[in-house]
Structure 1
Amino acid sequence: MTPTSPGGTPTSGAPASPGGTPAFPGGTSVSRLAVYTGACADGLEGGTPHLHTASTEAYVVIAGRGALQTLDMSGFRETELSSGSTVWFTPGTIHRAVNRGGLEVVVVMQNAGLPEAGDAVMTFPPEIVGDPARYREAATLPSGGPDAVETAVRRRRELAVEGFLRLADAAREGDLQPLHSLYASAVALVRPSVARWREIWAATVVRETRETAAVLDALDRGDGDHLLRSSLLEAPPEPRWGMCGHLHAHDVAHPVVHAPDPAR
């Protein structure tokens, strides 16, 4: 089998779709998440509360138990999670994964590339999330050793939990104005990135949709030539520090493409 170059461009003999390397199904992305341990200020273990501004996220629980705390315009909710649980939440849903024992999740994200490009906004207190410079400083992890990174991860988690608890307390009292304010700040934070996001979206989700339409048109004509260009793709796991836990992410934008060896 002949793989692609590290950048994902097919080498000799590797077939590709007209738009380049085929996207992960549906233009989504996938990762495996081991939710953080270590208690926060409220005594719960788990991840960093945040929301996505453009992408829906799904959890498929593969081990352990815990809960998903969410906050949106309908109020605060806690959903129990155990092996086999499958939940998803749309843009604007603040979510916090709570670990009650070995919680591991397969995460499927809509719009591959957008979350990595800043689609997520953490629920820091309003004086931070409303100031782009202070937000970037609080959100950015250092480039030092693992101890320094872990300290920074825990610090930003505590800061986001502090803001989340304020929002949840206000919502329980029927006051959703803080949530409105957070949404306004989130939009202001991500707005400068939208032009770049549109390029990413066009290269993944839009391209995938157009290619499926072209395949359906071909099949309707009795044309199966696209089957001759079939291939196997692989994206090895890459360990990372995530917002909710230790990630094994998969770079679906630059997969290895396995194709038949033309010499055989």
Structure 2
Amino acid sequence: MSGFPGGTAVSIVTVYDWPTVDGQAGGSPHFHTASTEGYVVTGGTGAVETLSSNGYERRDLARGTVLWFTPGTVHRLVNLSGDLQLVVVMQNAGIPEAGDAVFTFPDEVLNDPEAYNAAATAPGAPGLTHEQRGEATRARRDLAIEGYLALRERVEKEGPDAMKPVWDRAARIVADRTAVWRRLWADGPKAQADATGAHLDALAGADAAHLCDAHVASAGDAEGKWGMCGRLETWDLRP
């Protein structure tokens, strides 16, 4: 077995304290199309707003809060104390980094593949300074907030059915990425699950051969990034 346990990825997120048009500070609303995401809050206070099959919900966040949400759940982190920090645990290490997330941009952007890709990838454009990447990240956040607030209003008026067009658009956006995702899944989470099955078969026969490969692995130093929801500290935990 190789890679982080369960084929997951972990990162430390210091949530943005940038204010938005509705007076709340925080990150870019988005959702994942193939991966479940978990939060372990380590400091500060805040909230997470979600849009899902349950409609619109808001949950408080404080140190010790643990929650997670399945693919398709729009989530928006709100930084109330100014120092909200959490550990994010992502299913399927490598797949979120390969374009699993879809931003809640306004409909006209979601319906235009070129406009969507330009807006989503703007902070990663070559040649930008650190400060310019921060500015591009904030502009991307503001565009996602614009679409999110309109979507939230529709969900509150019409119910969860208002989410269906957004999910359909997201599926079209990511459809051509799934071949890469399948390879990442096969080499990571699936390979780990298959290895566990083989270990159980061996142990049932009192065969301890796999234990002879016992070892410790380290991810090395973290990499700092401008993330969707905040400043990130990440590690490459794939096999």
Q: Percent identity, please.
A: 44
Cα offsets for 1:50-93 (capped at 9, x unmatched): 00000000000000000000001221110000000001000000
**1:146 paired residue among 130, 151, 166:** 130
Give runs of aligned pairs for residues 166-245 of structure 1, distance below 5 A.
Answer: 166-176=150-160, 178-235=162-219, 236-245=221-230
Which SS does the other structure have where 1:234 is aligned?
coil
C-alpha displacement of 1:177: 5.2
Q: Which runs of 4+ in 1 moved over 3 A?
A: 175-178
C-alpha displacement of 1:230: 1.1
Supply the distance in 1 between the matched residues of 2:176 and 2:162 (Cα, whole angstroms).
Answer: 23
Aligned to 2:112: 131
Supply the distance in 1 between the matched residues of 2:157 and 2:194 (Cα, whole angstroms).
Answer: 47
Deviates more, 1:56-65 or 1:217-226: 217-226
Of Structure 1 and Structure 2, the greater helix share is in 2
Aligned to 2:13: 33
Answer yes or no: is the 8 Å Cα contact 2:40–2:65 preserved in 1.
Answer: yes
Supply the distance in 1 between the matched residues of 2:161 and 2:5 (Cα, whole angstroms).
Answer: 38
Which SS does the other structure have where 1:169 is aligned?
helix
C-alpha displacement of 1:130: 1.5
Q: How many residues align?
A: 234
Under a length normalisation based on structure 2, what TM-score does the superposition of the two structures give? 0.95
Larger Rg: 1
Aligned to 2:97: 116
Which SS does the other structure have where 2:163 is aligned?
helix
C-alpha RMSD over aligned residues: 1.1
Under a length normalisation based on structure 1, what TM-score does the superposition of the two structures give? 0.86
* Structure 2: gaps (5+ residues): none
* Structure 1: gaps (5+ residues): 1-16, 255-264
C-alpha displacement of 1:223: 1.0
C-alpha displacement of 1:33: 0.5
Supply the distance in 2 between the matched residues of 1:120 and 1:68 (Cα, whole angstroms).
Answer: 17
Answer yes or no: is the 8 Å Cα contact 2:55–2:159 preserved in 1.
Answer: no
C-alpha displacement of 1:175: 5.0
